[in-house]
Structure 1
Amino acid sequence: MSETDKPLTAYKVLTAEQMATLERDGTFAGAPVDLADGYIHLSTADQLAETIDKHFAGQADLHIVAVDLAAHGDKIRWEPSRGGQLFPHLYSAMLLETAIAYSPLARHDDGSIRLPIAG
């Protein structure tokens, strides 16, 4: 993936409790897996459904946060993960002010993820 091919927005899946923390504190240090790995796992729009199906299957009351990658600057690293795909990893806390939009997880009739829309 070249620099020009990298999306400007990535997505983080949060539990209701984690979303409440982000809204209340304006910052989110990471889920247990993020804290263990040393960075916050994010997904592109194309990777999001597989991330949800693989890591959040059967969980209810999830939320999706659209994250402005440019706002995090050099704290974003694109690193290989699942199947060698490059995933955006955030090497700092996620800030509410860098959230473009967020909403409860919802799916379209065809099962695809409904992305949060700003505004």
Structure 2
Amino acid sequence: MSEPPTTILHITTESGWAQAQAAGELRPPSLAEEGFIHCSTAQQVEATANRIFSGSGDLLLLVVDPSRLNAPLKWERATDVAAEFPHIYGALNLGAVVDHVALPEGADGYVLPPALRG
């Protein structure tokens, strides 16, 4: 990877985001199970959503500014895909979430919202 992106994305649900806001931080199950929070770049998120969440219904993308993270961020190769993904090694502090955008599931799957294309 030449230069890291200025934002990364985390896929969650409306209820997951509401729980994070109530708790003051996001701690998805992957943090306890794998030790990190899965994230994607804008270029990776459609394939990730369609591969992992197909049939789950509408989702939510948290737009995260890596420079605002309290926890370490590491770029690591995914075991099932030949690409490096951003992983947050700790809870996602809400101050690092700069936006959230709906990710509706359409007939052809998930498509990156126009606001996040760049």
Instruction: Bin the TM-score by the shorter chain.
Output: 0.7 to 0.9
Are 1:68 and 2:65 counterparts? yes
Gapped runs of 5+ residues in structure 1?
none
3-state SS of paired residue (1:51): helix
Q: Identify the residue that residue 114 of structure 1 maps to in structure 2.
A: 113
Q: Identify the residue that residue 56 of structure 1 maps to in structure 2.
A: 53
1:23-72 residue CA offsets vs partner (Å, 9 max, x unmatched)? 22220112x23421100000000000011001110112311100111112
TM-score in terms of structure 1 length: 0.82
Count, aligned residues: 113
- % identical equivalent positions: 28
Whether the 8 Å contact between 1:15 and 1:62 is mirrored in structure 2 is yes
Q: 1:18 to 1:61 in 2, by over 3 A?
A: same
1:3-25 residue CA offsets vs partner (Å, 9 max, x unmatched)? xx211211001122211112222
Q: Identify the residue that residue 102 of structure 1 maps to in structure 2.
A: 100
Map 1:1-119 to 2 at 5 A: 1-2=1-2, 5-30=3-28, 32-72=29-69, 75-81=72-78, 82-106=80-104, 112-114=111-113
Cα RMSD between the aligned structures? 2.3
Which structure is higher in helix share? Answer: 1
**4+ aligned runs moved over 2 Å, structure 1:** 32-35
- Deviation of the 1:103 alpha carbon: 2.4
